[in-house]
Every structure is written in C-alpha cells, then in structure tokens.
Amino acid sequence: MARRPSPSPRAAAPLPGRRVRGSATGRPVMAALDLLGRRWTLRILWELRAAPLTFRALQAACGGVSPSVLQQRLGELAEAGLVGHDGGSGYALTPLARRLMPALLALEGWAAEWAAALGRPR
C-alpha cells in the first residue's frame, strides 16, 4: 500500500513568501531554487515526468533514496503543489509541475551537449 506524503514535522517546504536559504523575504526564484536544490527533489520530479508511480516504483526508479527521505520530499513537493497522490495509480505531477518539465528537458539537452564537449558518454 502506498504511503501518502505529509509535510515534514522538522521543516516546512520552501515556498514563495517564506524565509528560505538565500532569501529572508522568500523571493519566488529563491524559494524555487531552495526546493529544487534539495537532495532527490529533481530526481523525483524527473521520474514522474512520464507517468504516475506508486511509492515503491518511485523509490526503485530513484535508486538509492531511503523511504524516509522519499516520504519527506514527497511531502514537501505536495505542500508546494507540485506532486499529488490519487490513491490508485500513485504519485503524479500536478499541472503546475508539468509546466516545469520544458526547463528540465532543456537542461537534459544541455547536459548531453556538455558531455559531448568533454568527450564523455551520454
């Protein structure tokens, strides 16, 4: 049975208007950088880009993330309005998170160019 994310009792998700790393005022771009810069966050969003995944499938796709960290990140992403859980097919990106995907796909393209420029395998 899949677990539902809940906000971390230790710290709230970085959100615009809240004090975040690098910004006492919580400027939206600083809140986004803080949220997306957390360990495993981008990987979770990346793995959910194609289709919803159950907790176990998402954990396997992320390879190496502990259940407690995955639970915490899903809670933060849910609080930030980027991931939802439908109870059936699992965790999925919200329409707001889908609007982030073109930027991540552009980053993927740039990373391939970077690897090629360095003579590294893709």
Nearest to 1 by CA among 79, 85, 61: 85
Predicted pLDDT at 108: 93
Give the 3-state secondary structure of residue 83: strand
- Chain segment 2-24, per-residue pLDDT in tens: 445 544 445 689 899 888 887 88
Q: What is the reported pLDDT for 11?
A: 62
Q: Which domains does the chain have, with CATH numbers?
A: 28-94 (1.10.10.10)
> How high is the pLDDT of residue 7?
43
CA distances, 110 to each of 9, 34, 44, 104, 115 (Å): 37, 22, 20, 10, 9
pLDDT at 118: 95
**Residue 10: per-residue pLDDT:** 52
pTM listed for this prediction: 0.84
Identify the helix (H) or strand (E) that includes residue 85: strand 83-85
- pLDDT tens series, the chain, 122 aa: 444 554 444 568 989 988 888 788 888 999 999 999 999 999 999 999 999 999 999 999 999 899 999 999 999 999 999 999 988 889 999 999 999 999 999 999 999 999 999 998 76
What's the pLDDT score for residue 71? 97
